[in-house]
Structure 1
């Protein structure tokens, strides 16, 4: 399962060229822009612990809706709603975490056994966000991966309704969106969507193996709407550097990077060459780093 996941991501998820496997350079450093060389700093113990906390939630999104509802997938979350059928719509859930005092929204990454899901990832053309869900994005010149925003749209209304239910039932305005891989991009878009639809919410995002989701205008706009957005990249994972900059994509701010020596660093700015962007890797050989571990937690399949 994990091996097929890795291959599926390489061929279709965020290479973003077509639904047909393509030959990509083994060292993308040759075609990437080089600008940000800001010095990194070590993550605090609490920030490192948070990686494990949210990685467990992201991993649980790979489990069935039934196991989430029963608490078998993750006992620390009281489910409010869950869905997805591992084909066109990846798994997702909305729940309440008493320990976090927050409504949690989690999204599954790409399921390699689902051809329709992989095709969504390959639908890469940058496109404008719909103003009905993301007011102000058009005026800011924002464009995003069309497959990512279409997938987010499939569950947007259900997730909004579940968040409203949770806010009313549990008396909290705090919402945290979480996801891995494709699910990380959907979770980032969900964070923006929820904040724009309910401005009174305090929204944050905790993301893992985040692909480049939008164009250079997307990151600054997203940071203004949801300043508390953090994405963790692991070792030689190529996914945070895909789709390529030559296709019009750029990574967002807020990277935390796990080095090949297992140091945990904060990476200032966008596309920091001291972090994921600066690694030399072989796309096929080192893609397992995309699956983890993220402070001991693996992704890509239900682990219960």
Structure 2
């Protein structure tokens, strides 16, 4: 039986089943659909993943599962939100890239992130990936908010999609009016940037949540000795609180799931049709 704990600097606090259902399950269901082919997302005909989220209207969808992972922007009438969703990638490939020391931290793009300080650095590959869809995401969210009248935006994703989603959330927070509430819940998040990046996310999103499943190795990379730091708000799924010491071991399968309510991620695990 799984339990979910919220990771603060030195301890875990239990998340009730009702909190999981209210705050985490729906973002997980959206993140799962991002692994389905764009052709099925446009008309919301991706089978079981889409059926679990009825009434969704998709404004744009794209990606090539290469330099641009699948993504889409949609409206969710149940939560009165515009939803931005990004696909992840094969965890073995992602670990290979993030364990490679031949990468660098770079300054945030000053056009997309005008209020970030010069000392705020992020993984260059993550920023490059986010930048390829940033203009489309921003313009579509702006038009979707105007057409629906909604005042809420949810940004979510898994794996690489979680990293891109966290960058999108910061971009949208800086670009959209203050009366629009931005919420971000992501899954299997690798470390995206340095301590200043983590502090920026913490300051903009007091309720930012990133869910780690058991012994998933992806959230442990890039390594801390290369000055990569997670923001606060980690929710850790574990079989028991005392098992947290076993995170020195890792299991790449945990990156895919299942997380809660049987939700798993990946092209073969998401149940797309």
Report the CA distance between 1:185 and its aligned residue.
0.6
Q: CA 1:180 to 1:121, structure 2 compared with 1: closer, same or farther past 3 Å?
A: farther
Report the CA distance between 1:47 and its aligned residue.
2.1
Report the CA distance between 1:147 and its aligned residue.
0.4
| 2:133 paired residue number | 155
List structure 1 runs of 4+ shifted beyond 4 angstroms.
Answer: 118-123, 274-278
Verify: 1:280 aligned to 2:248, yes or no: yes
Distance across 2 between alignment mates of 1:105 and 1:194: 10
Equivalent residues in 2 for 1:1-304 (5 A)?
Answer: 38-49=10-21, 50-73=23-46, 74-75=50-51, 76=53, 77-111=56-90, 124-139=103-118, 141-200=119-178, 201-261=180-240, 279-282=247-250, 286-295=251-260, 296-301=262-267, 302-304=270-272
Q: CA 1:155 to 1:81, structure 2 compared with 1: closer, same or farther past 3 Å?
A: same
Q: Is the 8 A contact 2:114 2:174 kept in 1?
A: yes
Distance across 2 between alignment mates of 1:156 and 1:169: 20
Deviation per CA, 1:61-112: give whole Å up to 9, x if none.
1111111111123243210110001111000000000111100000000157
- Provide structure 2 residue ranges, at least 5 long, that are not aligned to the other structure: 1-7
Moved more, 194-203 or 169-178: 194-203
Deviation per CA, 1:269-291: give whole Å up to 9, x if none.
xxxxx897871214xxx110000
Report the CA distance between 1:51 and its aligned residue.
2.5
TM-score of the two chains, using structure 1 as the length reference: 0.77
TM-score of the two chains, using structure 2 as the length reference: 0.85
Report the CA distance between 1:37 and its aligned residue.
5.6
Q: CA 1:173 to 1:244, structure 2 compared with 1: closer, same or farther past 3 Å?
A: same
Report the CA distance between 1:256 and its aligned residue.
0.5
Distance across 1 between alignment mates of 2:60 and 2:104: 31
Deviation per CA, 1:122-163: give whole Å up to 9, x if none.
674111001111112134x21001100110000000011110
Q: Is the 8 A contact 2:195 2:229 kept in 1?
A: yes
Distance across 2 between alignment mates of 1:121 and 1:174: 36
Q: CA 1:260 to 1:120, structure 2 compared with 1: closer, same or farther past 3 Å?
A: closer
Q: Is the 8 A contact 2:80 2:151 kept in 1?
A: no
Report the CA distance between 1:214 and its aligned residue.
0.5
SS in 2 for 1:190: helix
Q: CA 1:276 to 1:100, structure 2 compared with 1: closer, same or farther past 3 Å?
A: farther
Distance across 1 between alignment mates of 2:33 and 2:98: 21
Q: CA 1:134 to 1:275, structure 2 compared with 1: closer, same or farther past 3 Å?
A: farther
- Provide structure 1 residue ranges, at least 5 long, that are not aligned to the other structure: 1-35, 264-273
Distance across 1 between alignment mates of 2:170 and 2:74: 18
Q: Is the 8 A contact 1:236 1:260 kept in 2?
A: no
Q: Is the 8 A contact 1:88 1:120 kept in 2?
A: no
Distance across 2 between alignment mates of 1:92 and 1:149: 15
